[in-house]
């Protein structure tokens, strides 16, 4: 293998795939990046067997890719990325010599890195499915950002570490829950060619995907098999395994009625909860109390060692009963962060039932949070 390319183009390709490089693994080849040079294309691939990212470029005036001998090699990701990052913005030549020793040359600099036979690199999952859907990048990104954070970090129930994605009769839905909070978002769109489907995708994978999605209307092609999904972002292929199993039926958890409905500005309560959380301690689940009296919402928290805090916010509208409730401030702040600086409707059913947050105008889905039971 022998090719040359402009340093910024190669660096970008390495950065795109870097998140799929295995960090801790006894299999050394998984800590590498596969480089494949063909006639006028260069492909970089990283695959930790859960997440795989592949990026391809074709020769153009900017990248100045010039492949003189097609071939492939696996190079250690950490060193390769650091070496390329520290080279000047100039033409870089890469060639494989004997025993996979690879030369990286740029001006007066010449590195040699020990490579690994490309044959040892694992094959990415194959996709020939007709289960596919086209989504706008911006929409997909919004859906990811407003749901995946609510998934569980604990492997106690692996299925809850995933985000449940369903396309049913023209409705696309994303749902994530860790058992104490739930985030869900839906949209309808008619795509006559799309069959109903369902998949549980690791939420960590979706967060990494989000990093690669442009905030515009680029069309992302999503494909599914029984075990994997593939997101095609231009020349970048993003593979992730699916989580096996049946996702719990979350529809029953969302209350249909409420005893109190409050309309209030997101930012004003987020600031109040953020301040109250300063006194709330980790070991008490960041517990903040809310007392609703008329339109007055009073957030408070206290700690015997540190002190206490109390802050009142006036709701713009309130219907139903007065009540008190306590909640995990972190959960509520995560949920409120989904909404822009706008008014939300919060629906409560007393002190011991979950409450929901939704936007007044516009649809960015529903956030549900279980209260902390007060002592």
Q: Which residues bind a second copy (CB under 8 A)?
A: 76, 79, 82-83, 86-88, 101-102, 108-114, 271-272, 274-275, 278-279, 305-313
Residue 88 CB, shortest distance to a second copy, in Å, is 8
Q: What is the DSSP string of 311-365?
A: EEEE-SEEEE--EEEEEEHHHHHHHHTTS-SSEEEEEE-SSSS-EEEEESSS---
- By C-beta, is 107 or 214 nearer to a second copy? 107
Residue 167 CB, shortest distance to a second copy, in Å, is 42
Other Cβ atoms less than 10 A from the Cβ of 283: the count is: 8
CB 178 within 8 A of CB 98: no
- By C-beta, is 56 or 303 nearer to a second copy? 303
- By C-beta, is 40 or 302 nearer to a second copy? 302
Q: Say if residue 168 is exposed, middle or buried (CB neighbours under 10 Å; 0-12, 13-18, 19+).
A: exposed
- By C-beta, is 113 or 253 nearer to a second copy? 113
CA-to-CA distance for 323 and 301, rounded, in angstroms? 16
Residue 302 CB, shortest distance to a second copy, in Å, is 8
Residue 274 CB, shortest distance to a second copy, in Å, is 6
Q: What is the DSSP string of 196-260?
A: PEEEEEEHHHHHHHHHHS-SS-PEEEEEE-SSEEEEEETTEEEEEEPPPS-----GGGS-S--SE
- By C-beta, is 299 or 355 nearer to a second copy? 299
- By C-beta, is 16 or 87 nearer to a second copy? 87
Residue 43 CB, shortest distance to a second copy, in Å, is 22
Residue 14 CB, shortest distance to a second copy, in Å, is 14
- Report phi then psi at 218, rounded to 5: -45, 135
- By C-beta, is 117 or 191 nearer to a second copy? 117
Residue 283 CB, shortest distance to a second copy, in Å, is 16
- By C-beta, is 233 or 266 nearer to a second copy? 266
CB 194 within 8 A of CB 279: no
- By C-beta, is 83 or 222 nearer to a second copy? 83
DSSP 156: T
Residue 17 CB, shortest distance to a second copy, in Å, is 20
Residue 95 CB, shortest distance to a second copy, in Å, is 14
Strand partners, 237: 54, 232
CB 74 within 8 A of CB 44: no
CB 104 within 8 A of CB 94: yes
User: Which single residue is written with the structure tokens 């809310």?
Assistant: 290
Number of residues assigned to the chain: 375
CA-to-CA distance for 255 and 243, rounded, in angstroms? 27
- By C-beta, is 186 or 271 nearer to a second copy? 271
| Secondary structure (H, E, C), 39-74 | CCEEEEEEECCCEEEEEEEECCCCCCCEEEECEEEE
- What are the CA-CA distances from residue 192 to residues 129, 166, 167, 174 (Å)? 17, 16, 12, 20
Residue 295 CB, shortest distance to a second copy, in Å, is 13
């Amino acid at each position: 293998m022998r090719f040359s390319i402009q340093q910024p183009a190669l660096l970008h390709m390495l950065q795109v795939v870097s998140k799929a490089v295995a960090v801790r693994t006894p299999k050394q080849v998984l800590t590498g990046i596969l480089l494949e040079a063909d006639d006028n294309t260069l492909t970089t691939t990283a695959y930790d067997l859960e997440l795989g990212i592949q990026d391809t470029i074709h020769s153009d005036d900017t990248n100045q890719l010039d492949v003189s001998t097609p071939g492939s090699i696996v190079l250690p990701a950490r060193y390769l990325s650091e070496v390329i990052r520290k080279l000047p913005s100039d033409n870089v030549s890469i060639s494989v010599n004997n025993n996979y020793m690879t030369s990286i040359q740029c001006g007066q600099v010449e590195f040699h890195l020990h490579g690994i036979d490309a044959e040892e690199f694992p094959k990415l999952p194959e996709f020939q499915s007709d289960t596919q859907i086209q989504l706008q990048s911006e929409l997909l990104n919004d859906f990811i950002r407003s749901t995946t954070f609510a998934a569980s970090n604990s492997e106690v129930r692996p299925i809850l570490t995933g985000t449940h994605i369903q396309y049913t009769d023209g409705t696309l839905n994303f749902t994530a829950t860790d058992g104490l909070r739930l985030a869900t978002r839906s949209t309808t769109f008619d795509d006559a060619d799309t069959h109903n489907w369902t998949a549980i995708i690791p939420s960590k994978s979706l967060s990494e995907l989000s990093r690669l999605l442009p905030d515009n209307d680029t069309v992302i092609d999503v494909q599914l098999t029984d075990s994997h999904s593939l997101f095609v972002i231009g020349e970048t292929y993003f593979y992730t395994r699916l989580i096996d199993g049946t996702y719990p039926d979350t529809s029953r958890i969302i209350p249909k009625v409420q005893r109190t409905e409050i309309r209030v500005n997101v930012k004003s309560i987020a600031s109040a909860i953020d301040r109250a959380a300063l006194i709330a301690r980790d070991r008490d689940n960041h517990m903040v109390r809310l007392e609703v009296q008329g339109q007055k919402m009073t957030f408070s928290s206290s700690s015997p060692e540190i002190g206490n805090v109390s802050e009142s916010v006036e709701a713009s509208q309130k219907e139903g009963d007065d009540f008190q409730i306590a909640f995990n401030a972190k959960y509520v702040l995560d949920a409120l962060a989904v909404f822009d600086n706008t008014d939300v409707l919060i629906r409560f059913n007393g002190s011991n039932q979950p409450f929901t947050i939704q936007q007044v105008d516009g649809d960015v889905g529903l956030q549900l949070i279980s209260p902390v039971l007060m002592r």
